[in-house]
Structures are given as structure tokens and as C-alpha cells.
A and B are shown apart, each in its own frame.
Chain A
Amino acid sequence: MYRSTVLVCGGTGCTSSHSEEIIEALNTQLADKGLDKEVNVVKTGCFGLCALGPIMIVYPEGSFYSMVKVDDIPEIVEEHLLKGRIVTRLLYQETVDKEDNTIKSLNETAFYKKQRRTALRNCGVINPAVIDEYIAMNGYEALGKCVTEMTPEDVVNEIKESGLRGRGGGGFPTGLKWAFAQAQPKGVKYVCCNADEGDPGAFMDRSILEGDPHALLEAMAIAGYAIGSEQGYIYVRAEYPIAVERLQIALKQAREYGLLGKNIFGSDFSFDIELRLGAGAFVCGEETALMTSIEGKRGEPRPRPPFPAVKGLFGKPTILNNVETYANIPQIILNGASWFNSVGTEKSKGTKVFALGGKIKHTGLVEVPMGTTLREIVDDIGGGVPDGRKFKAAQTGGPSGGCIPAEHFDIPIDYDNLISIGSMMGSGGLIVMDDTNCMVDIAKFFLEFTVDESCGKCTPCRLGTKRLLEKLNKITSGNATMADLDELEELCYYIKENSLCGLGQTAPNPVLSTLHYFRDEYIAHVVDKKCPAGVCKSLLQYNVDADKCRGCTACARVCPTGAISGKVKEAHVIDHSKCIKCGACMEKCKFDAISKS
């Protein structure tokens, strides 16, 4: 029996900041001190507060150590684990009460207080590589309940009643999807999981796969029971090595325990799951392309109908849900539909995981009830925009979504509200931008992504996005006219209406939403030939303020193209024909004499 447990985050974020080495150092140090039988070191999934990684929690005290380094380990072992003295300097400062120096519970900190963890409930709590720990958190009980006490119809009805909608982007009611597949004649059917998270800045599915893989397996088995399927496939991208490894471990353990395989819980129900690794094409996250890819063919979408529930993988009825959607299923079965739909807004029930990124203090993963306002997520939970900068907009929904400007800061976030303001939920990536971000440049970034990732099957997407990008480049280089703006907008609508799959249909969204909310910025680029945020290089000009320049020559020496000239102790000048606008001179100048405009 261990007296103390040390949880160390083994998610991708913390692993890249050396949490593996920290675990190794902990184990060595504990063994040296003969504490290895008393203290249990557990590698868990993501805690969510990735900005402060590597993260470590020591129980029973609940001490939350952040930004731990390998060199700190001897101190933690000697002081805390041996002598019971908490190493205050390494504690996450939010957990320390500044007035009386006592330690607050993690759940009282701003980052965790407003969160409600359903899909992420086990992430950062259990060791994802040990099935017993999942079972200890009531794991596989929902599957047992379904198989032994409920009919497939009961299961589908429960999911329908819960109001759960797909967490991958579209927001289609999950129960309805299952009901369609269930209604198909008996025979071979498939249950698929979309773990091909491709939006730039989204990492919620990855964290669930890494931190709680058994929740996915259990939910897929429940889905199999509900629609009468015996085979599941998880399509996960090969770029998620930790997730793939933990899924493989989880599959092996579930089979050993007979939680996957023949006659689960002594019933007639048999179910097994296979992994399929994707090579990382964005289009393979689209449902028809994903299934084509599982079949071993080139990942390209096809027109719908027929919908997958009728004719999906290998031409058989198939349901395809995203990882986060599945992660909610066991909880709905265990606690009931009314427990789940008591949270959220009228048409969006439950919670949603958001991946916070960009100009925000607490980069990381948060799960909040639907209907939480953007302000609460960004300011309260996310800690606001750093460096005293001003919030400008938040981008949601990745390359298919749009920007939410500051004027909608108080909008309760759910599926329908986001669509009404020209964005979308998407998978839940939330990128925060401040006044140093150029909105035209942001649109350009997403279009570059879409052009790269367009599969090429349909012309509107293949050629249209390319033309869009060219127009954007023309704008940011200062060569556009107002007529270009109109053409840009027209082309956007054309692509939206004529593309084959969801990716093409939504590809112009970043342009349309920035054009809608930040048209003045576009006009500044086109008419005034200026980039208000000072991002677009072609529209910038670096100048030396002759009054402030002391002639120290620092700028001239650092300039890579020799564009700066001037005598020692005399004001320097920049030759704009040679200047490549790298900004090195401005960084080097100690007298603030160089400015960009």
C-alpha cells in the first residue's frame, strides 16, 4: 500500500517539456531513499494547464507543482516525499493564498473553478496504461449495464434524450445518427471513430486518447451493441504517436479482460476494434473520405446521400463519431440522459472541450458547460491576453470556422449562437488574437492551409481556394483594388455553394468572417496600402527617427542586407529599396529610434 501518489502529466505537451525524464528521476531518487514502496509515481494524461507544464500533483496533500525541472526532483523527494515539507516555490502560485500563505484546492483556482469535466474526467487522474484504474473510476460499468440490462433501443433512446450532439464540428444529434443505423436491416454494420483531429490548434481528441483511451473503447462497444455491429475501427493519425501507443495498450488490456471480444459480460454480444493509422491528410477527417481511407483507398470524399448510416464503410451501414462525442457516452448511460441534459443551453446540451491557444495566458485544454460566454473562457479561465494587450478576436472552428470579434465577447457559446455570428463550433479549437494580429493575415494563414490540404477532387475547392489565396496575397502586398475585394467575396460564396464536401464548403469562412467584422482592415490594406497591425511585410516601412538616433551603428551592423548607412555619431538612414523588413534593426536599437509604419 502506498501512502503517497505522485501524478505526473504524460500528455504530449508535458512530454515535450521532459516529463518522461522527470518520472525517471523520481523513480531513481525514490529508490535511492528507499521510498519506492511507499510512494507511487503515476504517469497520467493531460491536466489541461499545458502552459505551466510539466505538471505534477502530489497526493494526499494535493500539492500542484508547475514547470517542474529534472533538477527540482531531489528537492521534491527529500523535502516533500520524505519529510513532508511542501516545496512552496514550485507550487502553482494560484494555489497559494497570498494573505496567509495557505494552500488552496486546485478546484478553487480561476482556471479550474468554472470548468466541468465530463469528457476529460479521467484525464490527469488515472494512468491511461492501466485498465484497473479506469475500472476504479466506474469504467466499463456502462457497457455492462447496456449489455445486461438494456435493449439496443433503450440505449439509442437514452442517447437521443440526452441531446448529445456531435463534437467533431457539424453538431448532428448523435442519438439520431445511431437510430438511423439501428433501423437498417440486420447484417454487417460498422462503428467508426474519427480520431483524425486535423484543425490547426485543436488537441482535445488527442488528450482524451492519451489520457483516457478506455473511455473511447467502452463507448464504441456501447455503440456496437446499440446498432448491432461487431466490428469497430478507430481512424487515428500517425502523427499522434503517444495516442496510438496508449490505444494499442488499451485494446490489448480490454481483450485480455474480455471487455472486447466474444460474448461480452456473458451475453450474445461480441465486439472488437481495430486501429487504422492515417497519414495526416486534413480531408481524411471528413467522414466519407475517412471511410474511403479505412478501406485502403485514396482518401477522397464522395457525395452524400447515401449517408454512412445507410451505406458507409465497405458499403455497409456505419456510424462515425468523433472522440469527444464518444467520451461522453459512458457517462450518459451511467448517470442518465436527464443528468447530461441538465447542463448546457436549450439546443446544445452538456459540456464542450476547448483548446485554448494564441495570445492567451493559460494555453491549454478546458471543458466548460455549453453556454459559457467567450469572456468567461478567455478572461476568467484563460487568464486573459498577456502583456497588457487588447483582445481583438477569437478564432473558432479552425479552417472551417470564423472569427468572433470583441463586440460578441459576451455571447454564450453553443452550436447555434456561433453559426448565427458566422463562425462555428468546429472541433473546439479557440485561438485568441490581440491587436498585433492582422486579420487579413489570419485569413491568409487558414487559406494557405486549405490550399495545401485540398484533396483536389472537386474544382471549386481545388482551384477556388487557390484563387482566394492569390487575391489575399494581392491585398497584403498592397496591389489590390476595391474591385478585388468584391471579387474575393463573390468567389467565397461560389466555393461555399459548389464544393463537394464540408471542407470545401466551409473553406472560405475565415475570409468571409474577417471580411464581415474587419472590413476596415481590408480597406486599409487596399486603399491606404497600410497594415494597421503592422504584420504584412510588403506594406511596412522602417524609418529612423533622426532626433533619437545617436549614431551607435548597432543597426547598420545587424542589417543582413546592408540597407542602413550613416556615420558614427550621426543619424542613420534606411535604404528602402534594399530593406527586406526583417525588423532586426528595430530589435537592436537601444534608443527606440527605429519605428515601423
Chain B
Amino acid sequence: MKSLEELKAIREKAQAQINLREEKSDAVRVLVGMATCGIAAGARPVLNAIVDEVAKRGLKNVIVTQTGCIGICQYEPVVEVEIPGQEKITYVKMTAEKAVRVVNDHVVNKQPVTEFTIGAVNK
């Protein structure tokens, strides 16, 4: 170890993993439906794509988690985004590519991707 900068570089790299171990009450929550129906429809790659995108962007205040079946099995994979103080948005028939856009537009820029929401797809 030759300098504080070197230490800092190691720290920032390692913090991404540790960051997961804090309890955050004001975090943005991204929920992926991972019941049997969700998994069968391909929720796993969606979940992984979201996790990777959150990691790539170094988003610290975002919790990505799974949830069970919410009863709209024909629309799986379902992804829900909860930003504290805002209404929950439900995205349906997700793919890995769509999920990345949701992270970028909605989670980061706070602009819900209307065309993927249950309201739009249902029309």
C-alpha cells in the first residue's frame, strides 16, 4: 500500500457488495415477481439484468428484491417500482432489455416508462 488513493480504490470497489447489507428505509424498491408463474415466464433474466444495471451505475439507494405472485400471471414477468412518496408503478411482460430501460428512465431519471405499464399493455 503506497498511498491513500490506492486504499480508496479498493474501498470503492468493495463497497458495492457491502452496500447491500444496510437497512435503508428511504430506498427505491424494485420488486420482481418470482413465483412459479414469473419464473416460467422468464423473470430470472429480468431480475439479473436489473441487478447488473444497478451495479453498473453504482446506484446506492436502490433495493432489488423478489416478490411472490400478485395474481396477474398472464402478464408475467412483472416488475414493480416503488419510489418513496410516489405511487407504485407496475410493469408487465418484461424482458431483460425492457428492464434496463426501466432502471434508466424510471429509477434513475424518475420518468416512468408508460408503454410498459399494465395500463398501456392492457389497452
Chain A interfacial positions (CB closer than 8 Å to B): 1-5, 7, 38, 40, 57, 59-62, 82-85, 105-107, 125-126, 132-133, 135-141, 144-145, 148, 257-259, 264-266
Contacts and interface: CB of A to CB of B under 8 A. Distances in A.
Given A60-B20, A83-B68, A136-B14, A3 B1 contact: no
B122 interface: no
Contacts of B2: 258, 265-266
B48 A264 contact: no
B17 interface: yes
Contact of B23 (A106, A126, A140, A148): A106
A2 B66 contact: no
B78 to A, nearest CB: 12
B113 interface: no
Nearest to A62: B23
A10 to B, nearest CB: 15
A83 B35 contact: yes
A125 B20 CA distance: 11
A357 to B, nearest CB: 28
Given A5-B17, A7-B21, A40-B17, 19 more contacts: A3-B50, A5-B20, A83-B35, A84-B31, A84-B66, A106-B23, A107-B23, A132-B10, A132-B13, A135-B7, A135-B14, A136-B15, A136-B17, A141-B4, A141-B7, A141-B11, A144-B4, A258-B1, A265-B7
Which 3 pairs, one residue from A and one from B, show the smallest C-beta to C-beta distance? A84-B66, A136-B14, A1-B55
B67 interface: yes
A83 B35 CA distance: 5
B64 A133 contact: no
A59 B64 CA distance: 10
B21 to A, nearest CB: 5
Contacts of A133: 14, 17-18
A83 B15 CA distance: 26
A3 B47 contact: yes
B1 A257 contact: yes
A257 to B, nearest CB: 5
Interface of B: 1-4, 7, 10-11, 13-18, 20-21, 23, 25, 31-32, 34-36, 39, 47-48, 50-52, 54-55, 63-68
Contacts of A84: 31-32, 34, 65-68
B51 A38 contact: yes
A60 B3 contact: no
Contacts of A138: 11
B77 to A, nearest CB: 13
Contacts of A57: 21
A376 to B, nearest CB: 23
Contacts of A137: 18
- Which residue of B3, B13, B66 has the most chain A CB atoms within 10 A of its CB atom? B66
Nearest to A259: B1
A93 B1 CA distance: 45
Contacts of A135: 7, 10-11, 14
Nearest to B67: A84
B8 to A, nearest CB: 8
A531 B13 CA distance: 63
A132 B7 CA distance: 10
Nearest to B54: A1
A125 B36 CA distance: 32
B23 to A, nearest CB: 5
Contacts of B3: 265-266
A257 B32 CA distance: 40
Nearest to A261: B1
Contacts of B23: 62, 105-107
Contacts of B20: 2, 4-5, 59-60
30 contacts: A1-B51, A3-B50, A3-B65, A5-B17, A5-B20, A5-B21, A7-B21, A38-B47, A82-B39, A82-B66, A83-B34, A83-B39, A83-B66, A84-B67, A105-B23, A106-B23, A107-B23, A132-B14, A133-B18, A135-B7, A135-B10, A138-B11, A141-B4, A257-B10, A258-B1, A258-B2, A265-B2, A265-B3, A266-B2, A266-B3
Contacts of A62: 23
Given A132-B10, A265-B2, A1 B18 contact: no
A266 B2 CA distance: 5
Contacts of A264: 1
B106 to A, nearest CB: 18
A136 B54 CA distance: 18
A422 to B, nearest CB: 42
A265 B14 contact: no
Contacts of B34: 82-84
A60 to B, nearest CB: 4
A1 B59 CA distance: 13
A57 to B, nearest CB: 8
Contacts of B65: 3-4, 60-61, 84
Contacts of A85: 68
A554 B11 CA distance: 68
B29 to A, nearest CB: 9
Nearest to A35: B44
A138 to B, nearest CB: 7
Contacts of A259: 1
A74 B68 CA distance: 17
A7 B17 CA distance: 12
Contacts of B35: 83
A38 B48 contact: yes
B55 to A, nearest CB: 4
A380 B122 CA distance: 53
- Which residue of A3, A40, A257 has the most chain B CB atoms within 10 A of its CB atom? A3
A529 B89 CA distance: 77
Contacts of B50: 3
Nearest to B21: A59
B80 to A, nearest CB: 12
B100 to A, nearest CB: 14
Contact of B64 (A3, A144, A258, A266): A3
A105 B52 CA distance: 26
A84 B63 CA distance: 13
B87 to A, nearest CB: 20
